[in-house]
Amino acid sequence: DQQVKQNSPSLSVQEGRISILNCDYTNSMFDYFLWYKKYPAEGPTFLISISSIKDKNEDGRFTVFLNKSAKHLSLHIVPSQPGDSAVYFCAASESHFGNEKLTFGTGTRLTIIP
Amino acid sequence: DVKVTQSSRYLVKRTGEKVFLECVQDMDHENMFWYRQDPGLGLRLIYFSYDVKMKEKGDIPEGYSVSREKKERFSLILESASTNQTSMYLCASSSSSSGRETQYFGPGTRLLVL
């Protein structure tokens, strides 16, 4: 049972435009959400996170939005750059697990077209 | 900078062989994790450890075991490798010291079981 879903396996966006990656979850106990970015032949690297007490968190070109009622989060990248081409994973955790256990989505491959 | 290293980038093993994957972190992190990444399935947690000699099953522990004899080292063992264990294996570590710390990943080991 996939508790964290990324329904778009791939996404192509023109350089300079906005990239929007989506993630849905089913477990209402999740209260902390993260996005990771993965290049080929490298491990995932942390990008941005959001707690369930917020609905938006921004870090430079990256913004994560959380809609708790819809159990949906999204990552916005603006403007998109060629170096943003990677696989993006969203992940979620429950507070009673603290930071110990993350549940990951299936990933979205983002391609930025120059 | 947090550094998580994995003993091999690529491994080729035969069905039935015992396989050891080693992971070392240099940041004195309490928590360590083993995931496998497969196309269309994302990252799935195999085992994790909160402390030396402690281990917890993740979502897909069957066919695997782990060992954590020292804080910095977490080993994944495939007792009798099978072809369905061909995958990318990723190790991660995180700190329990404060708040919701992120997980830091190694570069991965791509294992092929023939």
What is the arithmetic mean of pLDDT over B36-43?
A: 91
Tens digit of each residue's pLDDT (9 = 90 or more) over A22-69 = 999 999 999 999 999 999 888 999 999 999 999 999 999 999 999 999
Closest CA of chain A from B59, distance in Å: 9
Which residues in B lie closer than 8 A to residue A9 (C-beta atoms)?
40
Indicate the residue of A43, A101, A106 with minimum beta-carbon distance to B42. A106
Q: Is the Cβ pair B50, A100 closer than 8 Å?
A: yes
Which of B74, B69, B114 minimizes the C-alpha distance to B93?
B74
pLDDT at residue B15, as a whole number: 97
- DSSP per residue, A19-71: EEEEEEE--TTEEEEEEEEE-TTS--EEEEEEETT-SEEEETTEEEEEETTTT
For residue B61, pLDDT over 90 is answered with yes
Q: Is the Cβ pair A49, B100 closer than 8 Å?
A: yes
Tens digit of each residue's pLDDT (9 = 90 or more) over A60-102 = 999 999 999 999 999 999 999 999 999 999 999 887 655 568 8
From the CB of residue B51, how many other CB atoms can be counted at a distance below 10 Å?
12
Counting Cβ atoms within 10 Å, is residue B64 exposed (0-12), middle (13-18) or buried (19+)? buried
Which residues in A lie closer than 8 A to residue B94 (C-beta atoms)?
99-100
Q: Is the Cβ pair A104, B35 closer than 8 Å?
A: yes
